[in-house]
Amino acid sequence: MNTTTHAVRVGVSRGWHEFRQTLASADQMFNVLIAVVFVTVLVFQREAKLEDTDVSLAAVTLPSMLGMLVAFGGFAGASSQLSTNREDGTLLRAKAVPHGMIGYLVGRVVQVSLDTIVSMLIILIPGLFLVHELSEAGVTGWLTLVWVLALGLLATLPWGVIMGSLAKSPQASPFGFTMLPIMAITGISGIFYPISGLPDWLQVIAQIFPIYWLGLGTRSALLPDSAATAEIGDSWRHLETLGVIGAWAVVGLLLAPTILRRMARRESGSVMEQRRQQAMQRVG
């Protein structure tokens, strides 16, 4: 077994172990609470209908939520984990081990992916009983959902690593550098309101980013064709979805390892101590 393969196996094992640890953490409990809120929203939307269709608003909202969770998990989850690991010395230790950065990156991908899957299941399983339209998705629809969500993770996780690496301080990454821009983009991406009802210039901006296409892809998987009337061009645009999300994935996967290595080279014991002193001064 070569050293790279060993590093990947170690990364998978570590990611699984850390995922199991997070199941009882405060962060996971917060994710569960958010999921419960989303499910409550679905309950109240069951009787409301999408304009000019027989499709319930709950059926439209549920797949959009799944796409949003993938985007938030990939962007914010990876960025937040990287920030934490810069603080606690995990990144510094990984840097000192041969091929340690490969194992570290694999571990983050495994953990964040599993965290995201759990959050989605907490919404999807009750949704199967609350939203009757899901029973009409068929095998093709569920397979479409799988490839859209899997490609979405590939498209967002590397960019989460990039954002966490480019942040000037670990404290800046999870919120100001990551969450605020993502929340702003989500607001115009048709997740909570049909994008066709927004001004044309906002529609153009939204279609640059993968969040809109994740929502569109998940809706195309679980909704009947009649619901496409609420979308741009009255179409699910599968090829465009594949192209845009795929492009974000390719570029992110090419850039993330290089940017992460450059950031890791700047990490040292003295830098960690300096950050610790600054944190103590802020607390004092």
Q: How many CB atoms lie within 10 A of CB 230?
A: 21
Q: How many CB atoms lie within 10 A of CB 254?
A: 10
Predicted local distance difference test score (pLDDT) of residue 250: 94
Please say whether the beta carbons of 151 and 221 come within 8 A.
Answer: no
Please say whether the beta carbons of 136 and 231 come within 8 A.
Answer: no
Cα torsion for 222, 228, 233, 235, to the nearest 10°?
50
Q: Output b/e per residue, 75-97; b: 16+ Cβ within 10 A.
A: bbbbbbbbbebbbeebbbebbee
Predicted structure pTM score = 0.84
Predicted local distance difference test score (pLDDT) of residue 56: 80
Distance CA 123, CA 128 (A): 9
Question: What residues in the chain have per-residue pLDDT under 70?
Answer: 1, 24-28, 31, 52, 168-177, 267-284
Predicted local distance difference test score (pLDDT) of residue 269: 64
DSSP letter at 73 equals I
Tokens of 39: 């499910």
Distance CA 216, CA 65 (A): 11
Helix, strand, coil distribution of the chain in percent, nearest 5: 85, 0, 15
Please say whether the beta carbons of 82 and 256 come within 8 A.
Answer: no
pLDDT in tens, 125-145: 888 888 887 878 889 999 999
